[in-house]
Chains A and B, each alone.
Chain A
Amino acid sequence: MSTATAPVGPGVGSDHLAHVADPTTAAPRRGESGRHGIRKPLGVLARIVLCLVFGLPLLFMFVSSFKPDLQIFGDLGSWKAFLPVGDISTDNYTGVFGRVPFAQFMTNSVIITVVTVVLGIVVNSMAAFALSRIGFRGAGAVLGIILATLIVPFETLALPLLWWSNKLPFLGPDGFTEGWLDTYQVQIVPFIANAFSIFLFYQYFDSIPKELDEAAKVDGAGWWRIYRNIVMPLSGPAVATVAILTFLPMWNQYLWPLMAVQTEELRPVMVGIDYFKQLNTSWGQIMAYASMITAPVLILFVAFQRSFINSIASSGVKG
């Protein structure tokens, strides 16, 4: 994607880059806003209506998770659908734990997401460091190939990758085994190296003055130390962006674990929702399950709101 639009005019491009380099600029600059705003009363009304459109369904989900099924349907016709009134209890939550191994699903998702995020930061930043700050003959070509792969959606590779994963050898505690299906690693390893993360780090590293490297080298530091003690500590915003942009899709992953993992003990939370559709449907329990798997992300989002928005904004930097 970036490759498709990379060679835009220098003005626009560098403006965009500036946004990654300095996340504070990604916040709206007050001075220039409001120039094409809709006049006040109408604008406020529009904002509030939109707020209801985007917010109410999620509010409905949380509220309904505390109601018995009969009442969920009974409340649909009035505002009570969005209010925690009537027969409120945590029965649905108890029900979820009785129906699926929820703690196991949650643990799996946390393991898969955290490991991928952490290893992704290390592996991709190292690659970007090599390409951006050390450089070598052919580094440009390597970066070009990496960028070109951004146009390939994961969905086109999923089926061949599934077949391929079944052939891969793995050196584990039992020696060499063939086939990665039904394991943790099949949910983690393919997603560690990421072309877009490398690109984001590359861009950020480029904005850090090279003089720092020179100064460190005079002091006898090697590349590894420059990477670890100078460049990485200065790259907080890039690390945050990559962490968030890895975390969201990993937590929300559905297609891949649906196919690659059949063992219940290894399944992540998103695939777990299918359990509630197969047996007799209890909507209250579905809402409780949905609330529990959404809550961690919402809490992180509210806590790190600015970083979340900035990372998404910087994913548009590609243009």
Chain B
Amino acid sequence: MTTITAAENASAVTGRKREPVKGSRSSTTTALLMLLPAGILLITFLLIPIGLTFGLAFTNARLISPRPAEFIGVDNFVRLFADDTFWASLRNTIIFAAVIVPVQSACALGLALLVNVKMRGTNFFRTVYFLPVVTSMVVVSMLWLFMYQKNGLINQVLLKFGIDGPDWLGDPHTALLAIILMSAWQAMGFHMVIWLSGLQTIPGELYEAAELDGAGNWEKFRYVTWPGLRATRTFILITITISAFALFTQVNIMTQGGPLDSTSTVVLMAVRTGFQQQQTGYASAISLVFFVLVLAVTLVNRYVTRDKDAR
């Protein structure tokens, strides 16, 4: 479905611009030559691996093995669905996504509204909020690993307010929450910028008109800003969801999935089985489930946020 609409879109665009070129054969040859490097690379490192994800999932392929992979039907999936770690990973991944999508997008919108004002120093604030985005997740994870210690920076700050903080990453009840908080902290600036660019597409006259009608701040947000951000909203929902499902770096560095699988994720499990245990076939099955999940969520997201006014 997505493919078709994208293709239609694209052909509409190229169709329009093809007329000035008189369709000469040499033009086509040049075009194909220019397309060739990217084409070969995309086929080799994108399309073939996509195909392999589907193909290898039904084999017993191993990462390094003298024996060729054998077709074993749905054995990998049978094994996967009987694996408690898989269900725990899937549950954690879904919880992570379900919490971080609304929290992070809402907070990022708040930040965007806050820095979308004419005021001295706005640019400074925007830059500071954006700093974690340019900091690698690896660095952020190490930093927060330290801050989350039982006697670490966060608990020391909480102590100032009379709160006795938990052992964030050591307790199965708080570990996932801790990872959610630091992930939101890292990525919020990114989505703030995207919300901002959305806010700036809303024509100022709409706010002026709303003011003339006596709208307050809330009404202006509810009836002008929110509807004006429809396209941005869809984009943000889809990107946060996809990156939430791909959760790996933080968990690998901070908890390795523990304690008691409470922070294990689908990608972490795929890496464990496919890389550390070299079971490429099994890992492909996990990747395939992951891919179907992403696809489903994207389609649902798109359906829910579709243009209801389209006729």
Contacts and interface: CB of A to CB of B under 8 A. Distances in A.
Contact of B302 (A5, A222, A305): A5
B194 A158 contact: no
A312 B2 contact: no
Give the most central of A28, A55, A273, A277: most B CB within 10 Å. A28
Nearest to A318: B235
Interface stretch (A43-51, A86-94, A233-241): A43-51
Nearest to A50: B129
Contact of B13 (A140, A142, A148): A140
Interface in A148-203: 148-149, 151-164, 166, 168, 189-193, 195, 198
Nearest to B136: A252
Contacts of B161: none
Interface in B65-104: none
Contacts of B245: 153
Interface string B154-191: 00100100000000000000000000000001001110
Contact of B50 (A60, A76, A147, A149): A149
A227 B51 CA distance: 34
A154 B270 CA distance: 13
B114 A81 contact: no
A156 B32 contact: no
Nearest to A11: B201
A24 B129 CA distance: 21
Interface residues of B, number: 136
A309 B130 contact: yes
Contacts of A313: 193-194, 196-197
B260 interface: no
Contacts of A301: 130-131, 134
Contact of A148 (B3, B20, B34, B242): B3
A153 B294 contact: yes
Interface residues on A, range: 35 or more
A36 to B, nearest CB: 5
A153 to B, nearest CB: 5
B291 to A, nearest CB: 4
A50 B34 CA distance: 48
B198 interface: yes
Q: Secondary structure of the B side of the interface?
A: helix
Contacts of A255: 248-249, 252, 267, 271
A305 B3 contact: no
A273 B2 CA distance: 40
B117 A157 contact: no
Nearest to B201: A15
A71 interface: no
B220 A166 contact: no
B212 interface: no
B307 A147 contact: no
Interface string B236-252: 10110011011011001
Contact of B7 (A140, A195, A312): A140
B52 A163 contact: yes
A102 interface: no
Contacts of A286: 142, 146
Nearest to B27: A134
B226 to A, nearest CB: 11
A31 B117 CA distance: 10
Contacts of A192: 41
Nearest to B218: A36
Nearest to B56: A160
B106 interface: no
B45 A193 contact: yes
B231 A7 contact: no
B114 A46 contact: yes
B39 A305 contact: no
Contact of A195 (B5, B9, B28, B46): B46
A12 interface: yes
B14 A149 contact: no
Given A126-B37, A254-B249, A259-B275, A4 B134 contact: no
A143 B6 CA distance: 8
A311 to B, nearest CB: 9
Contacts of A83: none
Interface string B206-237: 01000100000100110001000011111110
Contact of B5 (A3, A46, A54): A3
Contacts of B194: 312-313, 315-316, 319
A319 B305 CA distance: 12
A293 interface: yes
B39 to A, nearest CB: 7
A193 B41 CA distance: 6
Given A6-B5, A130-B31, A123 B46 contact: no
9 contacts: A1-B238, A6-B6, A57-B147, A77-B156, A126-B38, A130-B33, A156-B53, A161-B52, A319-B233
Query: What 3 A-B pairs have minimum CB-CB distances, sorted nearest first?
Result: A319-B235, A140-B11, A144-B7
Given A54-B189, A160-B280, 9 more contacts: A4-B2, A12-B201, A33-B117, A33-B118, A76-B152, A130-B33, A148-B3, A293-B138, A313-B196
